[in-house]
Amino acid sequence: MPANAVVIGVDSSTQSTKAAFTDVTSGRLLAVGRASHHVTGENGARETDPEVWWQALANAVAAGLKELAGLGIEPAAVTGIAVAGQQHGLVVLDRAGAPLRPALLWNDTRSAPQAAALTEALGGPDAWTARTGSVPVASMTAAKWQWLRENEPAAADAAAAVRLPHDFLTERLSGVAATDPGDASGTCWYSTATGAYDPALLDLVGLDPSLLPTVAPTGATRVGSLTPAAAERLGLPAGIAVAAGTGDNMAAAVGLGLGGAGLLDHPALSLGTSGTVFAASRTRPASPALAGFAAADGTYLPLACTLNCTLAVDKVASLLGLDREAAEAGGEVVLLPYLDGERTPDLPGASGMLTGLRHTTTRQQILGAAYEGAAVTVLRALDEVMRACGQDPSDPVTAARPLRLVGGGANGRHWVETVRRLSGRPLLIPASGELVALGASALAAAAATGADPVALASDWGAGSGTELEAVERDMETWERVSSAVEEAAAG
C-alpha cells in the first residue's frame, strides 16, 4: 500500500451519484464528485436507465479527480473502489451486458399485487421471514421480477442476467458478476437463514439461478480488479481493488461504525426521500414487520423503511406556500403524509390523510403535523427494530443509547426538533454528511488492505458528531398520531 493511499467510495442513490475520495490512513474526505440522475414514471412507476448510473459514476469520479488534482494528488494514489447502491432495484441485461429496459426502482409500487400473491403462495408472512428474514412488499426485487414476468414477458424471457443496481456498477468496474449478502438479502430470493440463494424461492418466481451474480462473503471482499476499459473510462489506474460493495443502508451502517467490530444494537435513523431505521446485530431478525437484512460485515441489519419522509413533507410545505422550516407543532391536527402509498405500514395504495382541522388551525401547524406524521411512522418502526435486536425499547438502558440521525433531514432544524421531541431519546448527529460514501470507502480500503471495514470506519471517526441530550417525550402527540397510523394500517 503506497503512502497517502486513496480509495473511492461510490454512493449511487435514487437521485444522484457521489464519489468520495478518502485518505486510507486518516479517513479524511479529500474530494467528493457529484452527478445527478433522472427518474421517470407516474401512477406508481419509478424507473431509470442503468446506463445513466454508469455515466453518472464516470462524471462523479471525473469531478472528484479534478478536486484531487487541486490538492496535488495524482490518480495513481487511488488503490481501491467500492459501490454502495440503492437497494432492491431490478436490472435485466442482455448477453452483451446492456440493459433490456429501464431499471424498476425500489420505490416503484406497481408490483404490490405480485408481492401480496407471493406472500400467500409461500404460506404467509411467517413462512417468508423464516427463510429470508423479510416479507415481500412492492419494494422487494422478487415482486418486481414477478411483475416483469406478468406484464413484460418478452423482457423477462430475454434476460441473460439479473442484477441489483450496485451489482450492475460493480460488474462494469471489474467484469465480475458479484454481489454481497447485504444487498442480496433485499431481493427475497436470498436466504439469511442459509446465507445463500434459496432454490425453492427461485423456483417460485421462475428465476434461473445462473442469471444471478455470485454472492461474496462480505461487502469488503475483493471480487476483482478495475478492468482496463473501466480504468480508461474513469481515468483511474487499471488493476486497483474492486470490492463486492453493498446496499446503501448497509454502507451507512459501516460508515457509522455499526457492526461486529464496532457498535451492536445501537439504532440509526436516516431522514431522506425515505425514512429508514436500522441497527447492526448478531441476532438474526425474523419479524414480519421488518426487513431482516444481512449487514455488509457478516452481522445482521434489521431495518424498517417508510416511503414518505423529507420529500413528502417538502411537498406539503410547497402546497401551503411555506418554507420547510416555517413549521409549528401540529396541535390537534394529524397529517399522515402517505403521498406515494406506504411501505411501513404496508399500504401501497394509501394517500395522504388529514384530520383535526379547526378554524384556528394555521398553515404552520398543518406543516408541523406533516413532520409529526412522518416522524411517528418511522419511530414506531424503530421500536420493532429494537425488539428484533433482542432489546426492549422501553428499557431505560436501551432508551438511553443515542439515536444516530443521518440523511438530509438531519440538517433541518425542525426535523431534528420533531424527532427529539417524539422519541424522547438523546440524538447524535454525525459531522459527516456522506456516510454511505464513507462506508463504501471503508469497504474499498478493506478490499485493498484486508482490514475490517467497520473497525476502519470506527478509527476514522466517521460516526462522531454533535450530541443532543434527551428531552421529555411528547406523549400526547405520539399517542394521537400513533392512533391514526394504527387506524390507517387496519384499513
CA distances from 281 to 86, 219, 264, 316, 489 (A): 21, 16, 5, 36, 28
Per-residue pLDDT tens digits for 454-489: 999 999 998 899 999 999 999 999 999 999 999 999
Please check whether residue 399 is in contact with residue 393, taking contact to mean a CB–CB distance below 8 angstroms: yes
pLDDT-based confidence at residue 491 (cuts at 50, 70, 90): confident
Cell numbers 439515536 correspond to 403
Strands, sheet with 403-406, edge to edge from the N-terminal-most edge strand: 291-294, 300-306, 275-278, 268-271, 403-406, 427-430, 465-468
Please check whether residue 335 is in contact with residue 366, taking contact to mean a CB–CB distance below 8 angstroms: yes
Active site residue 248: yes
Please check whether residue 256 is in contact with residue 145, taking contact to mean a CB–CB distance below 8 angstroms: no
88 is in an annotated binding site: yes
Write down the pLDDT at residue 273: 84
Per-residue pLDDT tens digits for 398-412: 888 999 999 889 999
CA-based nearest residue to 298, from 278, 276, 280: 280
Write down the pLDDT at residue 269: 96
Write down the pLDDT at residue 199: 98
Least confident of 19-28, 57-66, 338-347, 437-446: 338-347
Backbone phi, psi, residue 277, to 5°: -125, 140
β-strand partners of 292: 302
Backbone phi, psi, residue 76, to 5°: -60, -15
Please check whether residue 463 is in contact with residue 404, taking contact to mean a CB–CB distance below 8 angstroms: yes
Asked whether the predicted pLDDT for residue 22 surpasses 80, the reply is yes
CA-based nearest residue to 288, from 126, 462, 76: 126
CA distances from 238 to 65, 79, 172, 219 (A): 15, 10, 13, 21
Tell me the pTM: 0.92
359 is in an annotated binding site: no
Q: Angle at Cα 438 formed by Cα 182 and Cα 306, nearest 5°?
A: 55
β-strand partners of 29: 22
Among 248, 265, 340, 346, the active-site one is: 248
Q: What is the mean pLDDT of residues 171-175?
A: 98
β-strand partners of 281: 300
Cell numbers 481493488 correspond to 241
Please check whether residue 83 is in contact with residue 245, taking contact to mean a CB–CB distance below 8 angstroms: yes
**Quick check: helix, strand or coil at residue 195?**
coil
Packing angle, helices 453-460 and 248-255, rounded to 10: 50
C-alpha cell at 75: 490518480
Please check whether residue 65 is in contact with residue 235, taking contact to mean a CB–CB distance below 8 angstroms: yes
Q: What is the mean pLDDT of residues 99-112?
A: 95
Element (H, E) at 58: helix 50-70
Q: What is the dihedral of CA 158, 164, 170, 171, to 10 degrees?
A: -10
Percent over 70 (pLDDT), the chain = 99
Per-residue pLDDT tens digits for 216-253: 999 999 999 999 999 999 999 999 999 999 999 999 99
Dmax (CA) of the chain:
68
Please check whether residue 143 is in contact with residue 128, taking contact to mean a CB–CB distance below 8 angstroms: no
Percent over 90 (pLDDT), the chain = 90
Cell numbers 467484469 correspond to 175
Per-residue pLDDT tens digits for 36-93: 998 999 989 999 999 999 999 999 999 999 999 999 999 999 999 999 999 999 999 9
Q: Which domains does the chain have, with CATH numbers?
A: 6-249 (3.30.420.40)
Write down the pLDDT at residue 1: 63
Q: Rounded mean pLDDT of the chain?
A: 96
Write down the pLDDT at residue 2: 67
The Cβ of residue 429 has, within 10 Å, a number of other Cβ atoms equal to: 17
CA-based nearest residue to 8, from 29, 39, 38, 37: 29
Q: What is the mean pLDDT of residues 129-157?
A: 97
Write down the pLDDT at residue 33: 98
Cα 325–chain centre separation: 25
**Quick check: helix, strand or coil at residue 37?**
coil
Could you tell me how many residues make up the chain?
491
CA-based nearest residue to 244, from 281, 205, 294: 294
Please check whether residue 104 is in contact with residue 47, taking contact to mean a CB–CB distance below 8 angstroms: yes
CA-based nearest residue to 270, from 282, 256, 287: 256
